[in-house]
Structure 1
Amino acid sequence: MSDYDQTIVSTQPPQPAGEPPKSRNKLLLFGGIGCAVLLCLVLGVVGGMYYYFLGGTDTLTSLTGTESGSPATSEAVVVVTEEPVEPTSEPPTSTPEPTEPPATEEAMAAPEIGPITFAVGATDDFEPIDPSDTFEEGITRIHALFDYRGMSKDYTWERVWYLNGEEVLRNAADWTDPEEGRFDYFLDAGGGPLPAGEWKLEIYVEGELLASGSFTIEAAQAAVTATPVAQTTATPTPSPEPTATPTPKPSGGGVYKLVYTKWDGGQHNMYVADTNGRNEHFLLHRAAGPSWTPDGQMIFFYGEEGIDRQRLDDGREFVFDGISNGIVALVNAASLPGIEEAQLFQGLDWKQGSARWANVSPDGTMVAFDAKPGGDYRIYFLGTADNQQFRYEILGEQADWSPDSQQIVYRSGRDGKTGLWISNRDDTGHRLLTDNGSDSFPAWSPNGRVIAFSREVDGNVDIYLVNVDGSNVRRLTDAPGPDTLPVWTPSGDIIFRSARTGSWGIWKMSGNGANQQEIIPNAGVGPDWSMSRMDVR
């Protein structure tokens, strides 16, 4: 018997009663009988083929689960009946076997997915390793294991992930595995730590929700602490207590903290110093375009290739697991840690390799950066709160925030006009501020009234001011060599980069251009000036 069990049940009509047969010519009789037999055979074959091939609607197919990798068996019952000839009044000579009603087609056995087990790993036999519904901070991969049956390669299945109630990932694919077995499915963040919060997984088959499960990644400070290469685990250090933010002085002056970089010919290295040039402190290698949070607790920056491996002068090397080139946060910046104590964090969607700098909004809720994943530079936004996301993107580069964090000023060639533009942060209400194609690196003043920027005139780059309505453009510097990358202090002074002495240094002047003086010499600027942006708090 093959994979199909096939039974043909046929009922014959009763023979009618009648007069005794009359004598017939034997040759005719035998000839007639022969023709009748031949006709019956033909009709039987044709009828059988008809019912066999056209009887699909009367086929009952039942699929039963088998071990993974084994073919499922199926049984089919085909019932064929013939219309009886109208009987006579005389009872039949024999009672026919009762016929079974035609079988109806039943649906394929419904797919089933069992409970989901979450774990940190799985064995070669798909047994969970350290299963739990709560995981520690810094975990980089979660395995979701479940048993299943009744699946088919005709099915499409879909996985939907939620974080704190918001959908963050959705994938659909054709089912390619056996009909029954155990499945190991995992979620990771490209090698980085998964965000803390409440995670939920929903599994759909053919659009129907068949299973769901959830787990929690404990919401602690998700920082990565460097460890020597020889060690295998990292020990996080407590976040420092908040420190007071200096009160701005309206007429200039005061001493603040400046975060900046120095180009050494191959990479940017990040430092902090006072705005009078004193107390310089090295922080990290391969860190560009830094920006303080308003409370001074963190520094956001662009991590260059190799940011995860930091080497000290004595040859010791420290590795930050899960950190790669893209936007990174130094979460314990207030303590000005050395490499050994530094704590770095990188969100799931921060790994943008073509970024160049970071700029934290004055209210501390968003981080702007520019990148060109598709060819042209665009400005993107990250949220500083856990798992906060913004879908805005603006055609342009080199952005700075308005004091109220609601607008940005930036360089762009949008609408066929290259210059400085101002937009709301969701890209509404954009307007052209200046129309000089060389205008770049705008910086919005703390009082919100003017914007400093650099402009090239007659081959020399200098720093200018413009009112926020586009009026009263005036020049602040006029020295040989480029003056660029201005940034405001809270009190209204301007810190900028200059190569007027023949080498790059960091300079300071009043908001009106007076009292220009070098505060940090030998502060190199790389080929892409955007990566040498600075920030003051």
Structure 2
Amino acid sequence: MTDLKSETKITRNRKIWLIGVPVLAVCYLAFCGAATWMIFRQGEETQLPPHVTAPAAGEAEAESDAEYPPQLAPKSARANADATPAAVVKNPTQQTISDQLPAPVVQMPAACRQTNLSASSVVTGPVLSPISFSTRSTPDGWPLDVGLQFPASIDKIQATFSFAGMENGMPWERVWYFGDQEIFRGESTWNAGARGQLSVFSTVAQAGFVPGRYRLEIQLNGEPVSQGEFYLVSDDAPTNRPVEVAFSTWDGSRHQLDLLNLETGEVAPLLEFARHPAWSPDTNGLLFVAEDGIDGGTPGLWVHNMAQQKSYQLNDYTDYRSVAWSPQRTFVATASGQGETPRLVLQSLEEKRRVIGPVGDDPAWSPEGRRLAYRGCSAKNWGIFTVEVIGPVIDGDSIRQLTEGDDRQPAWSPDGQQVVFVRDAGESTEIFAVSTAGGSPVQLTDDSWPDAAPVWLPDGRILYRSLRDGAWTLVAVDADGGTPVILLETDSAPDWQPDRPAVSPDYVLVKPTPAPPPKPRVQVPPGKGVLVVSNLKNNDEMTFTIDNIEHKIPPFTYRALPLNPGHYTWTASWPGKNSRSGIADVALGQAAYPVVER
């Protein structure tokens, strides 16, 4: 594979195409000898203002029984870690406030501002957000129609991430993988400035994209600092699935999670003593807060594996006012605190760390996972605000106000261009929507009873809870208003504010079944057998020890070891990784292939 090397020059409001080079792909990568062009474009889609003062081919099968991500594997309750103030990125003096931002920056009044939010610990090293993927973007660079899965017939993929604490002159690389095999590496010198947003475009001409799993890794000084992955599927692959809505009910003493199938209208009980549901993007996991221990555990944050029908505890925090799971499944946004002054909390599922944000409640993630909408405090009233999140950093100075009023429970539209929310309209609470570019909110409901907890459905309608005849029903209405349609009447008792329902995607995440790599052919010396040791799937050097002799096997290679016939014990290890051990039988004149790959 030919490396792409170029000097990247990025200026404000400018996009640069970086080189197209002929690439010859190999058969087992499913490109099978076809000459193609991979073109990468990189541009600073929007220069954020300096208000931040600081992160093969094969048949497809559904991933319903996939292994759960490592950070969500079974584990005991973690001890509460000390909450830390939001990190802040150092403000570059050479930048100026952009005129292109659609909404003004709102200065929080002293009564609402947390004094340690903009003067706390300073981020001195690079911080990158997780990578999101889409096929188009807004004029100011925010990705639209973000997803984990796209049809292989598309001709372009846009990978976008935010960054802070960077330094011009740093070497950085973009490494693309197809499955676990590296297929492209672009090397550049960083010159995009200290902070902002960057998009990398990948276009494959001629033969088009091949269905499979793709992954992009960003490396700084040779070390990976951010990554993301997506799937491309054949246009005729069956991907549709019924939309399921997880919602909580309240009987006056405890909450329970139920599951509504929107296709059949059937409702099934799911979990007792549980509330605040949030789906993972692949619908394999449902995050929730347990009011009581499950299977001998304790109250706290749990995840329910839908394929296994088993729940795992993630921590034992009990102060969750709501739960929002980031699209990349790495962070949980919530609010903590009692009374009228709750504060946003960003919690890593991989680390024992909670980052405290501004005064606010009811956080909701944007589709690309780099912004939070929430109920915040302004000089005049509560309203709906947004704040940017760069990796583990809450940008306390990027707060922007969308509405003014007694507003709460915001939820983003799938394309990220609207936010729906609840407003206290006097006699009742109603559902409103507002553009993220600013403007006047539009009222969607006008009822004599309370409406609350709106979320978007994949078909573009808005689902919400409505307190009719003394019980919280599930109702849907078009995004531009119209006549509401009751989807489900429940016997849930009135609660002061019902939990936001969790809506699953309407597609199955399809995982292509990779063809097994062919076994390498080797020659067997006379009087010997051969042990073929593979390190083809690893990007680290392997140390393979057998018969008291160490053999160094480079990454992405294999080694044929001539041995006397016999019964052997071997050990394989990689730098900083777990080692593996096994037994191999070597027969005269034959080759053995032990399973060594980690």
> How would you bin the TM-score normalised by the shorter chain?
0.3 to 0.5
Q: TM-score, normalised by structure 2?
A: 0.42
Structure ranking higher on relative contact order (CA contacts 8 Å, 6+ apart): 2
In terms of Rg, which structure is larger? 1
Higher strand share: 2
TM-score by length of 1: 0.46
